[in-house]
Structure formats: structure tokens, C-alpha cells
Chains A and B, each alone.
Chain A
Amino acid sequence: MNLEVTLAGKTFKNPVTTASGTFGSGAEYEQFVDLAALGAVTTKGVANVPWEGNPTPRVAETYGGMLNAVGLQNPGIDLFCKRDIPHLKEKGASIIVNVCGRSTSDYVEVVERLADEPVDLLEINVSCPNVKEGGIAFGQNPDALYEITKAIKAKAKQPIVMKLSPNVTDITEMAKAAEAGGCDALSLINTITGMKIDIHRRKFVLANKTGGMSGPAIKPVAVRMVYQVSHACKLPIIGMGGILTGEDAIEMMMAGATMVSVGTANFHNPRATMEVLDGMKAYMERYHIEDINEIIGCID
């Protein structure tokens, strides 16, 4: 049975990675997950300098999902390169680094700093709904997305994956803009902007008022968007949004994803990534699938 996949010229032992922000840099999950058994660890968004993030409350549960407005609290690229990358390499993990910034130069600085690091892919977060500057501003305007993709691609040594926001009218327009800008792959979807009100206190549950919704409740939206994007451009896709089981991962791949990210499920079950992988293998056995690549985009 072959689970190996190739995305943007890089080969991964299986299609399962982690959704940025749900898995830290892996260390917190080591008691539950062999990091080397994952296709890759996608790390939490890292900027050129440390970010404090938003006030609390930062998280809220919703039916079949959750909202978060963490606001990309992160240690900055220096500590990340010094501590997190060596640790992940020591554990034998492949690494996808999620990069965030407030301006084009912030992103470029991080990408340049990573040039000589043992990183497989750079996932560029232009779609975080919880930061006021940068972030999603680049991900909701096709011209801005084209420009920043081009600027980052010009400096990046590793392949770049633009992470798209679902909070747009037509995601295929964004995908085409990123493709025209020269990126190597796309990841989608980031969280869907939402809101929750505590009716007893008559207050917003999140200090940020709005947050990004994730979890199984958004999976149909993610599957639809992965399908649309896979038909609108030629780029390979890392699909994510509500994957909880192996069956969910298979569904995302049938919609057109080459790899899949497990996110909120990690909060529900710290072993979720391994159980997704086991579920995929069970599916392959049941349907006598020799190579996982057979199912990528098999639905037309």
C-alpha cells in the first residue's frame, strides 16, 4: 500500500499534516503522536518578531466546531529557528512552516531567514481573520494576493504554498491570482469568520468579537472549495477544514487535495492525526486501493 505523495516537488511519506496553529511546533503532542509518522508537521504561524496575540477569551466552542481569535501569538523567527526547527528535525519530522506578517516585508524577512533551514515547504498565511493588519488583507483582494505571492516567491528558497481564506465571494479568483503570482501550491481553507454572543451576559464571547470558525461543522464548505479550486487551477492543494477521521481525509482528497491537514480534531483528540492515518489505510484496504494517489481528485 502506498501512501507517499509528492507536492510541489517534495515527497512526503503520507498525505497527513497538521493545520497551522492547532499543533504548536509539535512538542506538545509528542506524548501522543510520533512526529516522524506524519507526512509533515505544519507549525504555528511565525512572524519576523514575537507577537503577543489578542486578549482573552480567545476561544469558544460552537456546535460541531469552535471559534478562535488567538491572533497569531508567536515567538518570532529567531527563537523558532533556534529551538523548534532543530527539535522537529531531531524527531525526524518533515516540516512545513506557516509564515505570517503584517506587511510584505515582514513575510519576506521570515522567508529569507528560513532559506538555509531544513524546511520542506513554506505555507504563507494571508488569510488569518484575527489580525487587523496584514494577514487577511492580502487574502481577500486578488491583486494584493498576486503582488505578495510574487514578492515572496522571488525570495523564497523553498516552494511556497499560499493559504487561502474562505471569506471571499469567489475562491477560484483568489486561487488564480496566487497561481499567476507564481506560488507552488495552495492550502485551503483557513477559518470562516464567525461570532458568538453570550445571551446571559449580553456580551461577545470572544474579546476580539469575531473569530475564525473551524471544526467538522465547516467541512462541507472546505470540500466544496477544494473541489472548485482544483478545477480552476493546476496547483496541488493541501486540503483542510473539519477533518476528524480517515473518511474525512479521503473525502478531501477525492475533492482534489494531494495532502490534508488535521486541525481542530487535535483538540478533540490529541491522537487524531494518527487515527486519521489509520482510517485512511483501513479505507484503502476495504476498497483494495494500492496507491493513495489514485483517489486524488477522482470525483469529477
Chain B
Amino acid sequence: MEMIKETAKVVRQQQIDEGIFDMELSFPKGAALAKPGQFIAMYCNDKSKLLPRPISICGINKEEGTLRVVYRVAGEGTKEFSEMKEGDTLEVMGPLGNGFALKEEKAIIIGGGIGIPPMLELAKQLNVEKTVVLGYRTSTFLKDEFEAVCDVKVATEDGSQGAKGTVIDAIEKYGVEGKVIYACGPMPMLKALAVYAEEHGMEAQISLEERMACGIGACLGCICKTKGKDHHTNVNNTRICKDGPVFDAKEVVFA
């Protein structure tokens, strides 16, 4: 798996919701290799913060040589990124991880919260009959862009838009059907979707997240419990950064 580490330039950045930022990075070699569901490691310019931040890829523009990331400010590192302006530079490495395996079957593309951004590039590239289901607290960032691609159903925690409750409530309320689930979001959502897929005889590809250090499979900081033995260390712990972040839900052991 080829990956690039180099200095990338911020092409544009804007805030799109409370605490959520949308950044386009000029990173031509990375963009040329990137696939939906992969991520990049973004390094802080403040060198007291040593570890790269793993951020999912929201958009790939091979012609312009750019990658788009939509991320939430979760701490000091992402705060630094959010303050960057057009023309600023930072070190990035990527694309990292396996990405989604695009299947030829009817799809349900599901995102929850800050797990929504990586589903946008997948929705664009997945050329099959598909429905997008998005779970929000209240505010519905990126929804318009998904609607430009395909049919979108929404769930909000407070019921202010779409179905009240979770993405599964939206799937049931609107009778969304498909053969393959592609999903990214909080662990409880992914766990519920794993059960849902099992019950309905569907395949589910879920994208996991964990605190990472190296980002390239060396440190074993980010692992998930898996039913099968990991080829790397021959135990039931598989590296999320290298062998994931996308897993077959049937393989994952949920806490």
C-alpha cells in the first residue's frame, strides 16, 4: 500500500457547523492514490504536539490534486488545523488504511455525526442503486451535498428533522432497503448496525476509529477486537490504521 508524506497546502477552509470545519488540501500525490474510506494523518505545526491526527477523507479531486477533510475540533491539534488559512502548509501522510470495498449491489450508506464526512466520497463513487441515511444530533451539515448525489434519509436525536432517534429508526421509518451497508459513526451505532445487518442477512462494512500514534501499523496503539486472528501478530486484535479502518462487521467483537 503506497503512501506519501509531504507538505500540503491549504487551498480553502471554512467552518460549516458548530465546531465543524471543511478544509481542502493540495496534496496531488495523495489525491492520486486515495479511495473512499481511507484517511490521512495530519501533523501539527506546533511541535509540542507530536502525534498525527487521523482524519477521514471526505472528498477526492484527482484533477485538482486535492483532498477534502471535514473534521470536528476535538482538542488542541484539530483546533490548530481549524485556525489555518488558505496558503498555510502542514505535513500530511496518506492515504492510509484500506477504504471501503465497493460492491455491485444495492447499498445503504450510513453516517453518524462526525462519521458522516467519509461517506460523501463513497456516495459519489458507488455507482449502484443506493440510499444515504444520516444521523445527526440536530444540525444537518453536508446533507445538501449528499442530496445532490442520491436519495437521503435523516435521523435527528431531537426529531427536528427526519426520523426521531437513530439511523436505524430512519431505516425502519422510511423502509430503506439494500444488500450492503457501508457505515461510519460512533461505536454504539456501528454495533447496532452490525446486529441489524446480521438479522437482515446483509453485508456490513463499518469504519472504526481509535486513538492512534504511528498511523502505519507499527505501534499497535489502535486495535480492535476481532473474531479472527490478526495476520500481523497472530492474536484476536487487528490494527485499525493498517488493516482497517473498514472492517466486515461480522469480524468485529464489540465491547
Contact of B43 among A63, A215, A268 (CB under 8 A): A268
Contact of B212 among A23, A50, A59 (CB under 8 A): A59
Instruction: Give the residue name and chain of the A residue nearest to B224 (CB).
Output: A56
Are A68's CB and B222's CB within 8 A?
no
Q: How far is the CA of A211 from the CA of B232 in the complex (A)?
A: 23
Are B49's CB and A70's CB within 8 A?
no
Q: Mark out the residues of chain A between 225 and 276 whose CB falls within 8 Å of any chain B CB in the assembled complex.
A: 264-271
Is A74 an interface position by the 8 A CB rule?
Answer: yes
Q: Which chain B residues border A53 with CB–CB below 8 Å? A: 220, 223, 235, 237
Contact of A266 among B2, B5, B218, B224 (CB under 8 A): B218
Is B28 an interface position by the 8 A CB rule?
Answer: no
A-B contact count (CB 8 A): 107
Q: Mark out the residues of chain A between 65 and 113 whose CB falls within 8 Å of any chain B CB in the assembled complex.
A: 65-66, 68, 70, 73-76, 79
Are A56's CB and B49's CB within 8 A?
no
| Partner-binding segment picked from A27-35, A141-149, A160-168 | A27-35
Q: How far is the CA of A73 from the CA of B210 in the complex (A)?
A: 16
Is B73 an interface position by the 8 A CB rule?
Answer: no
Contact with A along B211-251 (1 / 0, CB 8 A): 11111111111111000000011111100001000000000
Are B221's CB and A59's CB within 8 A?
yes
Is B3 an interface position by the 8 A CB rule?
Answer: yes
Are B51's CB and A268's CB within 8 A?
yes
Minimum CB–CB distance from B91 to chain A (whole Å) comes to: 8
Is A117 an interface position by the 8 A CB rule?
Answer: no
Is A58 an interface position by the 8 A CB rule?
Answer: yes
Determine the main DSSP class of B at the interface with A. loop
Q: How far is the CA of A70 from the CA of B47 in the complex (A)?
A: 24
Contact of A74 among B2, B47, B77, B233 (CB under 8 A): B233
Is B10 an interface position by the 8 A CB rule?
Answer: no
Are B232's CB and A267's CB within 8 A?
no
Minimum CB–CB distance from B251 to chain A (whole Å) comes to: 16
Contact of B216 among A28, A61, A79 (CB under 8 A): A28
Contact of A66 among B5, B213, B218, B222 (CB under 8 A): B213
Q: Select the residue from B2, B43, B223 with max chain A CB neighbours within 10 A.
A: B223
Is A52 an interface position by the 8 A CB rule?
Answer: yes
Q: Which chain A residues border B215 with CB–CB below 8 Å? A: 267
Are A68's CB and B218's CB within 8 A?
no
Are B5's CB and A267's CB within 8 A?
no
Q: How far is the CA of A75 from the CA of B239 in the complex (A)?
A: 13
Contact with B along A16-43 (1 / 0, CB 8 A): 0000011110001101100000000000
Is B50 an interface position by the 8 A CB rule?
Answer: yes
Q: Which chain B residues border A9 with CB–CB below 8 Å? A: none
Minimum CB–CB distance from A218 to chain B (whole Å) comes to: 12
Q: Which chain A residues border B2 with CB–CB below 8 Å? A: 31
Contact with A along B116-146 (1 / 0, CB 8 A): 0000000000000000000000000000000
Are B221's CB and A58's CB within 8 A?
yes
Q: Which chain A residues border B242 with CB–CB below 8 Å? A: 28
Given contacts A57-B211, A73-B237, A267-B213, contact A24 B50 (CB under 8 A): no
Q: Mark out the residues of chain B between 170 and 216 whose CB falls within 8 Å of any chain A CB in the assembled complex.
A: 210-216
Is A60 an interface position by the 8 A CB rule?
Answer: yes
Are A29's CB and B50's CB within 8 A?
no
Q: How far is the CA of A68 from the CA of B219 in the complex (A)?
A: 9
Is B165 an interface position by the 8 A CB rule?
Answer: no
Q: Which chain B residues border A44 with CB–CB below 8 Å? A: 218, 220
Q: Which chain A residues border B77 with CB–CB below 8 Å? A: 61
Given contacts A50-B235, A75-B232, contact A61 B221 (CB under 8 A): no
Q: Which chain A residues border B220 with CB–CB below 8 Å? A: 44, 53, 58, 70, 73
Minimum CB–CB distance from A90 to chain B (whole Å) comes to: 18
Is B69 an interface position by the 8 A CB rule?
Answer: no
Are A23's CB and B234's CB within 8 A?
no
Minimum CB–CB distance from B194 to chain A (whole Å) comes to: 18
Provide a sorted-by-A list of 13 A–B residue pairs whose CB atoms are within 8 angstroms. A23-B218, A28-B242, A29-B218, A53-B223, A56-B222, A59-B212, A59-B221, A65-B50, A66-B213, A68-B221, A70-B221, A268-B43, A270-B5
A residues with CB within 8 A of B:
21-24, 28-29, 31-32, 44, 50-53, 56-61, 63-66, 68, 70, 73-76, 79, 215-216, 264-271
**Beyond A58-B211, A59-B51, A73-B223: 13 further Cβ-contacts under 8 Å?**
A24-B218, A24-B219, A52-B237, A57-B210, A59-B221, A66-B50, A68-B213, A68-B221, A74-B233, A215-B50, A267-B213, A268-B51, A269-B91
